[in-house]
Amino acid sequence: MKKNWMLFLFFAAFAALTFSGCSDDDNSDVPENTHLVSKEVQAAFNAKYPQAKDVEWELKGDYAVADFYWDGGEHSAWFNPLSAAWYMTETDVRYENLPEPVLAAHKAGKYADWRVDDVDKLTREGMETLYVIEVEKGESELDLFYSSTGILVKTVVDTGHEEDYDDYLPQPDANGIIAIVKQKYPNATIVEIEREKGLQEVTILDENREKEVYFNERNEWMGTSWDVQVANLPEAVKKSVMEKYSDYVIDDADYVVTPDNEWYILDLENKQIDKELKVNAARKSKVDDNTARM
């Protein structure tokens, strides 16, 4: 909060030095609240959106945000108020104007019968473009995050508060984690970076699938995982599991690659107990019953 006030006071002081030279022009095309941002930020915005109309500036946290109309729609563009770097633009999108892969994925997905309430597009510097479809059914509301290729990368419970998508803003790569991911997966695009309890989880799109890449606090790669359709599991894996757990069904499967090995992690269930199994990908008959949970 203190940092936010310092930014506000800085720009207010800057405006006091420059605003006295401005005329009282009642032109409706003049952006509102331009005193909140520097000339550098305004110049960066004008270069990116030269045809923008009804521009209104505000400070949100550590960002300068311009709300405006352009190309027939409503937009919000996020800039660094000090460097004038552009980070992200949020755009209202009509459902029928979504890219065909996103439309097809949603219509074929489990939430196809939910009512679509709103659709947003998040265009981000150096990161994957996301399409957010807000859906509701009864008292339940969800935000469905799709890649431009139609991959459902995230499902989030909608809290009902106004969404600013702060968590999806690109962050400075201070510790070089993006460079490391790009070196390991050169064709990948970054979806999201999360840091928690000394671990860093980077969600990427690679080989037309979503992958989770994990690093420790020293930026050492710990492993990568991705979903596997049960039907696509090797027959040797399914056979070895079913021979030992004939009264279970395989409900879910992940493939995990670590520096030392590769594994299938399987969720099994029956009427009473769920189990999680680890199957060595190289020795497909080797099954470790690591956990059993009620």
Cα 192 to Cα 89, 169, 195, 199, 281: the distances in Å are 16, 9, 10, 14, 28
Cα 136 to Cα 64, 106, 132, 139: the distances in Å are 31, 14, 13, 7
pLDDT of residue 7: 35
Beta bridge partners of 222: none
**SS3 label, residue 103:** helix
Q: What are the mean pLDDT values of the chain's consecutive 10-residue runs (294 residues total)?
A: 36 38 44 83 96 94 93 93 95 96 97 96 95 95 96 88 78 80 94 87 94 94 95 91 90 95 93 86 65 41
The token duo for 177 is: 């984690």
Do 39 and 22 form a contact (C-beta atoms < 8 A)?
Answer: no
Please give the DSSP secondary-structure letter assigned to residue 232.
G
CA 279 to chain centre: 30
The token duo for 176 is: 């070089």
pLDDT of residue 18: 39
**SS3 label, residue 166:** helix
Do 256 and 263 form a contact (C-beta atoms < 8 A)?
Answer: yes
pLDDT of residue 144: 97
pLDDT of residue 152: 96
Give the pLDDT confidence of 2-61 residue by residue, as tens digits: 444 333 333 333 343 333 334 344 444 556 677 889 999 999 999 999 999 999 999 998
pLDDT of residue 20: 37
pTM for this entry: 0.77
CA separation for the pair 190, 14 (Å, rounded):
36
Return the residue matching tokens 């470790």.
Answer: 288
What type of residue is 267?
Answer: D
CA separation for the pair 148, 104 (Å, rounded):
11
Nearest to 210 by CA among 260, 268, 149: 149
pLDDT of residue 288: 63
Nearest to 151 by CA among 220, 116, 203: 203
pLDDT of residue 172: 74
